[in-house]
Structures are given as C-alpha cells and as structure tokens.
Amino acid sequence: MIRCIVADEFPIVRNGIKNSIENEFKGALVSEANSSNGVLQLLANENCDIVITEILQPNRFGI
C-alpha cells in the first residue's frame, strides 16, 4: 500500500492529483495539505512513502 501526501494551495490541484494516484494505485492512502505547515503536521502524525508538493509554497520552499 502506498501512503502519500499531496500538498498544494489550490484544492482543485490537490483533488486532481489525489484522484490520479487513487485510480492508478488501488488501495493508496492519500492525505492532503494546503501548506508546508500542514505537511509537517501530517508527517508528525503518520508515516508516508512520498510527498508531492509544489516547489514554491508560501513561507517555505517545497524541497
């Protein structure tokens, strides 16, 4: 099972990426965050195999 976090400030982008992952990898667990702080909070509470994020996020770089 793949566990993934998708981070983007725009819900439509997050939803599109999430749907693509779930359609391609049946059983994938995809969490969403709208900021880099949200990603850090998710990582503090759950294990993750991959994080997909935009490079330029408000207040932090995505890398």
Series of mean pLDDT values for 10-residue runs along the chain (63 residues): 94 97 96 91 95 75 56
| Overall domain count for the chain | 1
pLDDT for position 59: 64
pLDDT for position 55: 76
pLDDT for position 35: 87
DSSP 8: -
Burial class (CB in 10 A: 0-12, 13-18, 19+), 7: buried
Domain that holds residue 57: 3-61
pLDDT for position 6: 97
The domain spanning residue 24 has which CATH number? 3.40.50.2300
pLDDT for position 36: 84
